[in-house]
Amino acid sequence: LDEAAEGFAALCDMAAEHGLLAHIEFLPSSAIRSLAQTWAIVEAAGRPNGGITIDSLHFFRSGSTLDQLAAIPGSHIHTVQLSDAPRELSGELWPELMTARLLPGEGELDLAGLIRTLDAIGSTAPIGIEVFNTRQEHQPFGEVARDWAGAGRAVLAQARGNA
């Protein structure tokens, strides 16, 4: 933790010289596996421009919880990436992460709860769609973009009671 926090603090300091934010995206198959580990690093680094990227699939597959997220100041959430999946992993994690993500709303992850928690902590982080899947690889880019945008808007509207 100390070594990671020291390195992250140095990165934050370099970024701050250029008016930039720095953030860590945890990945359940990496050395930084969960929201709790990531927040420990960001908090220990103690830099105002240091924060976290929340990837919804990483969040839920890592065992991170909405209660853990609710304890983090929203100003330290710098970006959010939405995708969906079945509630339980049915095979290996890596292939799911890289080729089998679902569009928001197509799976069973609590994306509405995630969005409501982010709203409750005052996060103003940009929310985007990150869906690696093979089923759309032959679709024209415009169709993929429309699918992603529509799915993202629908999940946000549902979470915020605008559906």
- The answer to whether 100 touches 133, Cβ cutoff 8 Å, is yes
Residue 22 three-state SS: strand
Distance separating alpha carbons of residues 122 and 41, to the nearest angstrom: 21
pLDDT score of 133: 86
How do residues 75-87 score in pLDDT, each as one tens digit? 999 999 999 998 8
pTM, entire model: 0.93
Q: Which residues pair with 81 in a beta bridge?
A: 55, 128
Residue 38 above 70 pLDDT?
A: yes
Sign of CA dihedral 31, 22, 78, 76: positive
**Which of 16-20, 83-87, 93-97 has the highest mean predicted lDDT (pLDDT)?**
16-20
- The kind and range of the H/E element at 117 are helix 111-120
Alpha helices in 46-92 (DSSP H): 56-61, 66-70
pLDDT score of 100: 84
Residue 127 above 70 pLDDT?
A: yes
For 13, residues 6+ apart whose C-beta sits below 8 A from its C-beta are: 47
